[in-house]
Every structure is written in structure tokens, then in C-alpha cells.
Amino acid sequence: MNVPEVVYGTFMLVFFSSIYLCFCATDIITRIDFLKDDEDNFIVSRGGTFEMGFFSPGKSNIRYVGIWYKNISVRTVVTTGMLKVIEPGILVLLNDTNNAVWSTNTSRSVQNPVAQLLDSGNLVVKQSGHGVSDGNLLRQSFDHPTNTLLPGMKLGWNFVTGREVYLSSWKNEEDPAPGDYTYHCDPSGYPQNIMKKGSDAVYRSGPWNGRSFSGSQNSRECPYYTIGVFTSKTELYFGYKLTSSVIVRLILSQNGVLQLWTWGDGKQDWVPFLLIPADNCDTYKLCGAYGSCNSQDFPVCGCLDKFVPNNSEAWKKTDWSGGCVRRTELNCLKGDVFLKYSHIKLPDTRNSWSNVTLTLEECKDFCSKNCSCMAYSNTDIRNGGSGCILWLEDLLDIQQEPNGGQDIYIRMAASEAGSSGLNGSSKMDYSGSCAEELGIPLFDLSTIMKATNNFSIDRKIGEGGFGPVYKGILEGQEIAVKRLSRTSTQGENEFMNEVVYIAKLQHRNLLKILGCCIEGEEKILMYEYLPNGSFDSFIFDETQTEVLDWPKRFHIINGIAWGLKYLHQDSQLRIIHRDLKANNILLDKDMNPKISDFGLAKICEEDDVGAMTNRVVGTHGYLSPEYALYGKYSVKSDVLSFGILVLEIISGKSNRKSCHPDSNLNLVGHAWNLYKEGRSTELLDECLGDSYSTYEVVRSIGVGLLCVQQCPEDRPSMSSAVLMLNNEGVLPLAKQPGFYIEGNAPSSGAFSSSQYVESTVTETPITILTAR
């Protein structure tokens, strides 16, 4: 191979070593053997399937490290390593002057590390002599793909580490840097694969139905490979494995086409086997809500049967974005029916609810009792069908699939089906028009009283600004019942806020609402029961805090970050929480965090613009300066609250109540001083001893301080915060935080506890929040 001129000199991939002994035809890199950038120096997997070395893509003269199929005449790079400077790690990339230009990191170290190229194409870092099971690996290239998914790779989420593995297109043929397109296994709602351009969805696979994705145009099994979506408490991923000796690779091209290629021995070239998107109907929500796309029709967009265009004039001009509406409006209280539609690519599931244990009949029963449920279907079509998925919003991105798809049952007015349809009757007691307005089941008061043993004192598990909280049992399920107190600092507006917002949000890190009761003066909310209760009872309790080892704390930080990212970016309603704090984080039995209490939440029309108010509400110690002083709130107000939470989780101390004895600073100020002096780890809760990852702790503190910066424009988005917590790039330097002044010293921008009531809701006129 002719090596083009190298811009950055000669590079070597090594393990902490300055001994340069060239080697060839081996599958490992050790502390004394290294990979040198010349035409004869590669490492080769043991079975001779893959090769690793330096290359220049296209006509570029920039050098990259890559992995490719060895015995194929057309060199096809399947993994690349970009050259960048990060903190020293296990693998180090050196230039010809022996300076490190790139390295990896690890949360644990071993005495004799090696990197081994496996026959799967996976480059793994491990202790020499140990096997290649996941528990032995310090790092693997399969966790850091670029544009290629190989058999055996996992595309998805590890819920323990918070790491997402997804594909990124190259910028162009000569630059492997991340391009415009990404491909994800999406965990929100019911799992499906989504291609995005930037943050916008451009293609969706449809949910996994046990055999294929519901958007698959061909239900026949492929003779070369099997695909699947796998889910558990710890991970969710999409992957595929070979069922023959054919060589296969899946790549995301720079123009946003997912391409499955097989190697043709006869042609000695790659042969396209599958291209996605396949046609215009694969364009995300091309036909709008309740519009159906059929590539065999002209025009391709039409309305589902018994639906009509929302805007007939726009529809005639082939502007289908407005979608369709029912020709007869629903009337849930008088009874609706569900009509069966077949050969359908199921709608977008990001705002859906699912339960894989229910039958289709039970699924229909659940949907019929919830007036906001627009449709239902099976999650699994095997063996006659099983499982339940409910759509709680308008149906988007529907396709007709003559040779595939599946059945879906859509809510319609009773008059559309005559006497043969479902009568829509419900066992639940709906009051007035509230069922349609709230979009969640309404229960009668007697049912709630029975579930809580008449609000027995021994069932009481807490008290908040809203009122008392009771544990109850409803139909064999443990529930939490929150009863609005007549003396509550929260009123009907906050009650409705809680119901409307939380009912429309579905995410594993948000508290799930199960129903409500409005009867006379009684206003009651029912939630999933979380046995570990409020997070503040752990983190700020000297005994309980010992339960929170570092992995649990890091997991909780990530969980809160994911939940907040969903509120700000991924949900259809862009929500600002406005009261994010430790006691509004609840923990389930597995210590997974769930954000709760949406009584103060607001919809944000644009990403960061926010709004102004003369009613400043929230909790002292978590408010952003611009909100507390001027009434201006945005998603960046939540980001600051998250940053404070991160520092509290790391230190085990409350920002509201702590005052460092030496500096008289609050928690944020103390963390800032330690950060400036390079002593960040001293912030760590002493009860953790030495059992923690220094890298994760320092990185978490850095992200926390970036989130609490004085100027909202300097704070990262939650999407960036999630990324920074879980990758290895260099963090930006944090700037001065807001409200970090000495705890007892009056100063411009300071506020004292006398200005705020320490309840969840604090209604304070903006005029008294001026700096002293």
C-alpha cells in the first residue's frame, strides 16, 4: 500500500511505553509491542477476518486508525479512531516526537494491559491472559462505533452506565468526523429505531413486534442474518447476528441512508442488500397525524378510512403536513368504538404506554377506560399476539404495508361502527368533561378510600406542600395517593398542572401517574408506588447516605439528567420543571430516580428563550439568579437546579443548609473554590472512603459547575450535560457560578432564608426580590 503524505507525522498506538519494537501479524498490542504507521504494520485478528492499522480516507492526507475486513480486495473501514487530545488513559496515540495526541481512560487499572483485535472486529482492552467476557473488559471499540454496525454490536442503551451506543454518519468520504445523521435505538415509549438529522427524526423503523419492525415491508425471514431488539432492567439494544458465512455490514451513509451490504465473492465487490429509507413513505410523518402513506398510490398520502383531510385546500396542493381528522368527533362519555386497521406500520411510539403481560382484550379494556387513549395493538405478533401498547396522543407516521405491518385498533365515534362496534362503556366513574380534559382515568372517592383504608394514619407515608401522601392497594397494585389538603400551599392550578403535564409524559425517569379523583372538594392524585421514597431522605441522612455508594450516585445523576433531557427536548411538550430538587426526586426499589411534582411546570415554546413572570415560585437554594431576581425562567433555570443537585449528590450536603466552616461559603461556593485550586475530589462525601472512580467524580463535579454558571447562555443544554457525563472528551472550563456568596454575608445578588418560605411553592412578588 502506498502511504500518502502524513500531515501529523508518524503515529503509534501503544500502552504506556516508550519501547518501540515493531511487530506484524499479531492480534494484540502490549506494553512493549506497538502499532506503527507504515505500510507493512498492522494487527490481524486471530482468524484473519479483520485488520487494524493506519489509513487515509478518500483523497485526504490526514491519518486515522481504523479496522477493516482483511481478506476483501476493496478496503472497507468499519471502525475509526479520531485523533484528539484527552486526558491520558490506557491506550495512547503518540506522534513522531513521542508526544501523546490521543488516549483513552478507564475507571480501573490492571498491571499488564493488552489490546486485542477479535474476529468479530471488536478491539478490546483487558488484562493479559484474561478472557474477553464483558466483566473483564476495560474498553471495547464496539461501544464506540462510527458509521458501521457489525454483527454482534449492540445499538442502544446501557441503563447502568448511562452509555448510549449509536451510529453517526461521516461528514464526507474524506472525513470520518460525525456528520449530520445519527441512528438510534430509542428507549422512550415502546422501543423502535430512529434516524435523526441533527435533533429531528427523519426516519422511524416502527416498534419491534417479536419478528421484525412493524415498518418492515417484507415479513419473510432473511436467509443471511437474524435481527432483534433485546431489553432488560440493565440494557436495551438492537443488533443482528449472521446465520450463514456471508459477510455483512450495516452502514449509515453521509446522506442519511442506512445501507446493508453483503460481500459478493463473484463480483469481488460489496452488493447492496437493503437501503433505508426505501421510498418517500419512509419520510417521517410525511402525511401528518392520521394520514397514511402508501408508496403504490398516487399521490402517496391519503387519510385512513373514516378520516378526512384537516385542511382540504392544503391537501390538494400536496401539503399533507396538517394530516387528517375523524369525520365524526369522538364523544368518550357517550361511548366510542375501536375499529381494526390491518397491514399498518404502527405509529410513532415515543408517546405510548406498554405492558407485555396483557392480552389484547385486556389492552382494549385499558384503552377504553382512558379517553386520551387513541389506539391500541399487540406488542408481539407471535403465537396469535400478546402484550399491549396504547397510544396516548394523535397517531403519527402511519404507513400501509401490503406485505407486512400489523393490526391496530383506533378509537372512533360510536356512530362509525353502528351496533356491531365496541360500546365503549367503562367501569370507571368519569365526572363531567374532565375525562377528556385530563386524559387519565378518574376514580370515584369510595374506591380511593377503600384502597387507603379510609386514609388511615398507618397508611400515611409522607407530607408535602400539596398535602398528605398515603400508601394504597388498588386491584392488587401498590399505589401512592396524594390528597390535596384544604390548608395546602398548592391550589387547584397546581393540581391541574400536575395532572395535565405528568399524564402526557412517559419516561422511565419521570414519576408515572395512574389516575385521579375529583369529587366535591376532594382532589386526589394516584401514582406508582416507589418503596424507597424521596431521595433527600437518603442523601442528607447521615445513616442512610451510606447506602449510596458511588456507582448508585452516578447512576442517579445520570437518571435525573435523562429525565430532564426528555422534558426539555424529547417530549412533545417542551417542559420547564421549575422546582427540581432532592425531595422531588423519588427512588424505586432498584434505586432508579424519577422526577416528580410538576405542579409548577410550564410549557416552553422555544428551546432556550423561556418567559417572564412576576410570580417567582420554587425552593430556596435551587433557584437560578435570573429567575429569583428578575422572574426570567427557561430550560437553563432547570439546568442550574440540576447542577446543584449533582453537587449535593457528590458531597452528601444540602446547598440550602450547608455553610463551609473555613470559608463561610455555601456548597456551590465551596465546590467552586476547590475546582479553581485543582482539589475537586475533596468535595466528595467522606462516607465513600476510597471506593469511587476518580475520573467519574471529577467529571461529574465539572459538569455540575458548568450547569451552575452565572450566565444562562454559558450553561449547557441537558442534552450536552448527558453527553459530557458519559463520554471522554475534554470538558470546557467552568465560569463563575451564580449565588455562591458567603452564607451569612449580605451581598449584591445574595438572598437570605427570610425572603423565602422553604415550602415547595413560594409565591413571592418580584418587587421584594431586589438585591440588598
CATH code: domain of residue 606:
1.10.510.10
566 vs 607: CA distance, rounded Å = 13
Could you tell me whether strands 611-612 and 632-633 are parallel, antiparallel, or unpaired per DSSP bridges? Answer: antiparallel
Domain assignment present for residue 647? The answer is: yes
H helix or E strand, kind and range, residue 661: none
Residue 427 included in any domain? no
Q: Any idea what the CATH number is for the domain that residue 222 is in?
A: 2.90.10
The CA-atom distances, in angstroms, between 399 and each of 111, 294, 369, 404 are 56, 6, 27, 10
**pTM of the complete model:** 0.53
Distance CA 628, CA 206 (A): 44
Residue 425 lies in a domain: no
Measured distance CA(194)–CA(111) in Å, rounded: 41
Phi-psi region of 288 (alpha: psi -120 to 50; beta: other; left: phi over 0): left
What percent of the chain has pLDDT above 90?
40
pLDDT of residue 505: 79
Predicted confidence (pLDDT) at residue 84 exceeds the cutoff of 80: no
Q: How far apart are the first and last CA of the chain?
A: 72
Domain contains 428: no
Residue 701 forms part of a structural domain:
yes
What is the rounded average pLDDT of the residues 615-637?
Answer: 78
C-alpha cell at 173: 468520504
Close Cβ partners of 668 (under 8 Å, ≥ 6 residues apart) = 644, 647, 655, 708, 737, 739, 740
Contact residues for 68 (Cβ-Cβ < 8 A; gap 6+): 50, 51, 52, 55, 75, 76, 77, 78
Last residue of a domain, one of 471, 503, 528: 528
The per-residue pLDDT of the chain, averaged, comes to 80
544 and 523 in one domain?
A: no
Same domain as 74, residue 208: no
8 A C-beta contact, residue 702 and residue 731 = yes
Task: Measure the CA–CA gap between 384 and 754, rounded to whole angstroms.
Answer: 65
Name the CA radius of gyration of the chain, rounded.
28
Q: Which three cell numbers stand for residue 20?
A: 518501540
pLDDT band at 488 (very low <50, low <70, confident <90, very high): low
Domain boundary, last residue among 262, 278, 294: 278
- Strand 291-293 relative to strand 398-400, pairing: parallel
Q: Is 744 exposed, middle or buried (0-12, 13-18, 19+ CB in 10 A)?
A: exposed
pLDDT of residue 476: 85
Query: Identity (one letter) of the amino acid at 124?
Result: V
Count of residues in the chain: 772
Q: Which of 305, 503, 288 is nearest to 395 (CA)?
A: 288
Q: pLDDT by residue (tens digit) across 660-703?
A: 655 568 899 999 999 999 999 999 998 988 888 999 999 999 99
Query: Is 587 part of a structural domain of the chain?
Result: yes
pLDDT, position 551: 94
Least confident of 85-89, 135-139, 582-586: 85-89
d(CA 167, CA 297): 33
* pLDDT (tens digit per residue) in 434-454: 444 455 788 889 999 999 999
Is the same domain home to 568 and 513? no
Does residue 385 surpass a pLDDT of 80?
yes
579: annotated active-site residue: yes
For residue 486, give the CATH number of its domain. Answer: 3.30.200.20
Q: Provide the sign of the torsion angle of the four alpha carbons 281, 287, 289, 291, taken in this order.
A: negative
Beta bridge partners of 168: 182
Nearest Cα to Cα of residue 539 among 530, 552, 551, 548 = 548
* C-alpha span between 21 and 35 (Å, rounded): 9
Residues 655 and 517 in one domain: no
Can you tell me which residue has the cell 506522534?
95
Closest listed residue to residue 628, CA positions, set 509, 752, 539, 469: 752
CA–CA distance, 180 with 196 (Å, rounded to integer): 8
List the single range of 155-169, 605-619, 714-728 with lowest mean pLDDT: 605-619
**329 is in which domain, residue-wise?**
281-420
DSSP of 21-54: EE--SBSEE-SSEEEESSTT--EE-TTSSEEEEE
Residue 611 is predicted with a pLDDT of 65
One domain, residues 719 and 739? yes
| Residues facing residue 522 across a β-bridge | 519
Where does 408-503 have alpha helices with state H?
Answer: 434-438, 445-451, 492-503
Enumerate the β-bridge partners of residue 406.
344
400 and 460 both lie in a single domain: no
198 and 270, same domain (yes or no): yes
Q: Kindly tell me the number of DSSP H helices and DSSP E strands found in the chain.
A: 12, 48
pLDDT at site 487: 52
Q: Could you tell me where the beta strands, DSSP code E, fall in 310-347?
A: 324-326, 336-345
Using CA atoms, how far residue 549 sits from 444, 466, 765, in Å, is 43, 32, 41
Residue 117 and residue 264 in one domain: no
**What distance in Å separates the CA atoms of residue 15 and residue 5, rounded to the nearest whole number?**
26
Domains: count for the chain = 5
Tell me the mean pLDDT in the region 748-772: 27
CA pair distance 617, 148, nearest whole angstrom: 48
Set of cell numbers at residue 346: 404502527
Kindly report, residue by residue over 628-660, the tens digit of the pLDDT.
Answer: 777 788 899 999 999 999 999 999 998 876 666
Regarding whether 683 and 645 lie in a shared domain, the answer is: yes
Can you read off the three cell numbers belonging to residue 120? 468479530
CA distance 135 to 156: 19
| pLDDT higher than threshold 50 for residue 540 | yes
Domain assignment of residue 695, yes or no: yes
370 contacts: CB under 8 Å, gap ≥ 6: 390, 392, 439, 440, 441
263 and 286, same structural domain? no
Give yes or no for a contact between 586 and 510, defined as CB atoms under 8 angstroms apart. Answer: no
Q: pLDDT value at position 662?
A: 59
Which member of 282, 348, 579, 685 is catalytic?
Answer: 579
- Pair 677, 752 in one domain: yes
Residue 742 has pLDDT above 90, yes or no: no
Kindly tell me the burial class for residue 361, based on how many C-beta atoms sit within 10 Å of its own C-beta (0-12, 13-18, 19 or more). exposed
Lowest mean pLDDT among 49-53, 161-165, 557-561, 759-763: 759-763
- Please tell me the predicted confidence (pLDDT) of residue 233: 86
Query: Do 208 and 81 share a structural domain?
Result: no
Does residue 429 form part of some domain?
no
pLDDT at 46 over 80: yes
* Domain end marker among 500, 528, 556: 528
**pLDDT confidence bin for 480, thresholds 50/70/90:** very high
Give the list of residues 6+ apart from residue 233 with CB closer than 8 angstroms, or none.
159, 590
